[in-house]
Amino acid sequence: MYPIDFFYRAAIRYPERMAIESRQENVSYGALADQVRALACAIGKLDGEPGSMVGLCAQNSVAYIVAMLAIMAAGKVWVPLNYRSTPTEIRRITTVIKPSIIIQDGYGAALTADLENVHIINTDDIPTLIEQFTGQHLAEVNRADDDIQAIKFTGGTTGMPKGVMQPYRAWVAVIINQIHGWKITSDDKFVICAPISHGTGTYVLPVLAQGGAWCCPVPQKQPTLRTRSENKRGR
């Protein structure tokens, strides 16, 4: 059983229940499963190699959750990239992991502009891709327990950020332990208050595995380059 299968199981059990709630949209389990499969097909069309790296550089949003799940559904390695980072740091990380695809919003685009040899999916284009690939067959990808499901880079507090490789078996164990440790049920709603790219990402699948809901605040409006420059000068 792969981590994504916990979500698929819940989607079968609770197709009409809301999986994600936000001011912009509410997404049921059934609809989310369809969106995830469609985007996973689009990812597989760009790169059909199992276990290749896909970076995700964006702030919290419904699209982020869809993209995160789709990366896993496509049999890829989810590599969350900090959208508050710098182009230099993002380049250093991507030089190490060599992602075939990066999914990004406007914040991420400002950090990846100089990258080469990588397919880019903008979050604004995700609805179009979902419409294009809805109903297409998602090829099954076989992965071993010790294969890597995600690579998360440390914050670099004590040195250069290091990539922590997280195998499938660890993700399955964490999902099961989180469910039992926190006693997560289908009646629970979790509010996203911290970046999914950081620790919050650990809780996404345990909540969705049980038919719970994620409440996603509206993403912040991306500041202009002028505004960011003025903020750095303390104006």
pLDDT in the model for residue 161 = 77
d(CA 47, CA 9): 26
- Copy the structure tokens of residue 94: 């991507």
d(CA 213, CA 27): 10
- Compute CA 15 distance to the chain's CA centroid, rounded to the nearest angstrom: 21
Domains within the chain, CATH numbers bracketed: 3-228 (3.40.50.12780)
Q: Residue-wise pLDDT tens for the chain (235 aa)?
A: 999 999 999 999 999 999 999 998 999 999 999 999 999 999 999 999 999 999 999 999 999 999 999 999 999 999 999 999 999 999 999 999 999 999 999 999 999 999 999 999 999 999 999 999 999 999 999 999 999 999 999 876 677 778 999 999 999 999 999 999 999 999 999 999 999 998 899 999 999 999 999 999 866 665 444 333 333 334 3
- Copy the structure tokens of residue 198: 């950081």
pLDDT in the model for residue 133 = 99
H or E stretch including 80?
Answer: strand 77-80
pLDDT in the model for residue 162 = 85
Closest listed residue to residue 172, CA positions, set 214, 141, 202: 202
